[in-house]
Amino acid sequence: MNIQKLIKTNTIDFKLSANGIIDAIFEIRFSTEHKNFELLLGEFIKETSTLGYQNLTRLAINDIPDIIIQSNPDLLNKPRWTVENEDYLLQVWTSVLIFSSKITSEKKYTGWEQYLENLQKVVEKIIPILRVINYSRVWMRYINFFKDLDILNAKYSRLHINFDNEVVEWEHYMQTKFERDNHKAVLSVSNSVTINSWIHEWAKWSMIDIDAYIDENIQPFTVKYIEDCHSLIKDTFFSITTDSFLEELKK
């Protein structure tokens, strides 16, 4: 039976019903000459509309008093406005730009080449409007869910996790951090993501969640930072999965 779950992510509703990528997110943080983004809204709407973005939405964070936001690091770099087109969601503020795929059970991930092409167009349009002074972080994240595939099973995974000399086989979650060149990464893996479907049945999924980012010496910003983050994520994914795992996905 096809188990489905209605999930709310930002302003997008989607049903989780297939193996593979369920989210692909890019974020860039920076400081700008502008402190009041509302003064730039007209220009922002004009430029993004040329790329097919519409449905300008004011996010709820705008209702939080500024004194609270300024005292909370987790809120400082949250976007406050969003626009979208058929394939992508764009969120923005004076310190952050977030670009993500709109993935549903009917709409799959567009693929890296199309994703990068559209991301580049957004960056080329929006960064000049904001008059960025410097960049503090370039970050990318891919989240993958796989139904009925135990990612910690030796048949499917090259990961070997031991607790007290006992190999972990089921219902576990692991996270590790590592670096390559100037980039940092966080790998999160679980074989016990349990999802309650809209028909009140339960399904067990495996998850591979990979973040890659750089948070120093980002001057000047170029597309290579984006490509390097993606390369690190891709290499990590294929380095921890086996040929048997990939064959199962092809089925």
Q: For the segment 185-226, what is each residue's pLDDT rounded down to a tens digit?
A: 999 998 877 655 444 445 667 889 999 999 988 988 899 999
Could you read off the pLDDT of 1-12 as tens digits, one per residue?
A: 222 332 223 322
Number of domains comprising the chain: 1
* Structural domain boundaries, residue 178: 5-250
Tokens standing for residue 76: 């400082």
For the chain, state the CA radius of gyration: 20
Q: 3-class SS at 185? A: strand
Q: Where are the alpha helices (DSSP H) in the chain?
A: 41-49, 66-70, 73-76, 112-130, 223-240, 243-250
| pTM (predicted TM-score) | 0.83
Q: What is the dihedral of CA 88, 93, 96, 99, to 10 degrees?
A: 0
Could you read off the pLDDT of 104-158 as tens digits, one per residue?
A: 777 888 899 999 999 999 999 998 988 888 999 999 999 998 877 888 888 888 8
pLDDT at 168: 47
Distance CA(128)–CA(133), nearest Å, equals 10
Contact 192, 203 (CB under 8 A): no
* Closest by CA position to 101, among listed 81, 122, 80: 122
Strand order in the sheet with 132-147: 54-58, 81-84, 88-93, 96-101, 20-32, 132-147, 202-214, 183-196, 173-180
Q: CB within 8 A of 68, min separation 6: which ones? A: 75
Tokens standing for residue 158: 């090259």
Q: What is the DSSP letter of 19?
A: S
